[in-house]
Structure 1
């Protein structure tokens, strides 16, 4: 009998954990599989750890958890769960039950057929979410697929079931700044996607604000594309040509119309400010890439575990 590892990253989810376990366990019991749960406490400030300990005490053979020394982020929690898992198949799920447990048997059977290495999920709509957040999300997928060689499936969730071979491949990508959606695609392997409609959280509030999503999107773009650097080069080249043509125009006009005005200090100040701003923006872009290289070169651990049971 195969073993299925269920990886569940958690951050301030004390209300969701007691609802998640029975909902998933009810489905798993109908499957011909052994199961282990790996809950990852990402430095929660509420009673999330206490809920994990209670579940572990009630089901010591099935339920395990890792508790971080501080908040390292969902990407680190996901990596820790994959690293701790021992199953033949590994599935990543959100604890808020927005990832429907009813899909687990279909995912498992698809992998058992041997035709696929991974079965992922994607939302076909974002009903219940704020329209502005949905708009930003759709634009992110549009942009990153235009500038990156790695295809990121629009609407794809972290909710996916993978073979042990694929999990080992994902773990071998030991990047400090991780973008799992990109890594799942980059490692390859044959993947099947199941569509479903958006489901609202069963409890609690999401920690993903527009600012955090924007920062996550920027990190994703810079992890899987050097297009911002290329953009800096082309804009710099364009401004150089415009500046040269402007200088040429002023020189020619001076000989054609002696005493012609150069438009004064205000125009010169605006041009200087414009070019200086562009330089600062793209110096920041280059600095961002250098910063990522710097952080990677330190070889810091992706997470630090305080408790593991």
Structure 2
């Protein structure tokens, strides 16, 4: 019996990498035993010719290639969710189009899942060669932080690249929150997961759309989605600043009783006011991030809006 593997590929400005990606996956497909591949490309509002390249590939391989095109850029998390929703295979893989996710691992991943021991075979980078040292440093600190403040396990170096069973994908899709962090969701839903180690690979073509600032914002989403420790931290800062202000008050009263009030006192007053005000604003910012995420969830907006798909194009022909 031939089993189907759905390959979910989020794409944003990947016109240069897609032909190489498809060629590489096709070479791997021919090596798979009793399995075939279904490609699901998600064009996440690309500004280049990504959609045109996908359409050309689909024209030459209508049997295997499907695609979804968003009305605008909704982000990789929305693209992942859409791809998982439309996948029809018994096994579902998530991959990037830049070939930093080694396709040659697929046969081994499939073999491990077929043994029924695991529901997911993920991948993790054991080296970060070629990555800026600053980014590598902050990435490692991020994983350390998350494993300290969250009950959900975050594996250092883990990638979105993984092969999952249908029942695990159903569990992931049941988590329908708008503010998504897939690495955390994959871990949070549970199921037995095995991680294959591999060495970091450079992009095959094109440039990454992930800047340091976008990665920083992405990490903030992870913290807010999977930990309430920052709220506790804000409360402790407020409590600490209250006790410090009491100590200052006692100190000022005692000094005035013993030595009088030799200075006007406004420098210390301004300093204390600014310090406490700054702490209040900092804590308010933490609370505001949580309130803002809650507000977005209550809107119940769709995670993405489709502009066109391969199916609609075929119906219009």
User: Could you state the TM-score of these two structures normalised by the residue count of structure 1?
Assistant: 0.98
1:297 aligns with 2:298: yes
1:6 aligns with 2:7: yes
The CA distance in 2 between the partners of 1:148 and 1:262, in whole Å, is 49
Post-superposition offset of 1:141: 0.7
Q: Any idea what the Cα deviations from partners look like across 1:88-128, whole Å, max 9, x if unmatched? A: 00000010000111100000000000000000000001100
Post-superposition offset of 1:252: 2.1
Give the direction of change, closer, same or farther, for the CA distance of 1:8–1:270 in structure 2 (3 Å limit): same
Q: Any idea what the Cα deviations from partners look like across 1:233-252, whole Å, max 9, x if unmatched? A: 00111110010011011122
The total of aligned residue pairs comes to: 308
From 91, 95, 120, give the equivalent of 1:118: 120
Q: Which moved more, 1:185-194 or 1:274-283?
A: 274-283
Residue matched to 2:201: 199
Post-superposition offset of 1:261: 3.6
The CA distance in 2 between the partners of 1:282 and 1:243, in whole Å, is 17
Residue matched to 1:227: 229
Post-superposition offset of 1:262: 5.9
Mapping for residues 1-309 of structure 1, pairs under 5 Å: 1-31=2-32, 32-257=34-259, 259-261=260-262, 264-309=265-310
The CA distance in 2 between the partners of 1:198 and 1:208, in whole Å, is 16
Post-superposition offset of 1:266: 1.6
Secondary structure, aligned partner of 2:164:
strand
Give the direction of change, closer, same or farther, for the CA distance of 1:106–1:267 in structure 2 (3 Å limit): same
Post-superposition offset of 1:255: 2.3
Unaligned 5+ segments in structure 2 are 311-317
Q: Any idea what the Cα deviations from partners look like across 1:129-173, whole Å, max 9, x if unmatched? A: 110111111111111111001011010000000000000000000
The CA distance in 2 between the partners of 1:187 and 1:108, in whole Å, is 21
User: Could you state the TM-score of these two structures normalised by the residue count of structure 2?
Assistant: 0.96
Q: Any idea what the Cα deviations from partners look like across 1:214-249, whole Å, max 9, x if unmatched? A: 000011110000111000000111110010011011
The CA distance in 1 between the partners of 2:160 and 2:190, in whole Å, is 15
Post-superposition offset of 1:264: 2.2
Secondary structure, aligned partner of 1:159:
strand
Secondary structure, aligned partner of 2:21:
helix
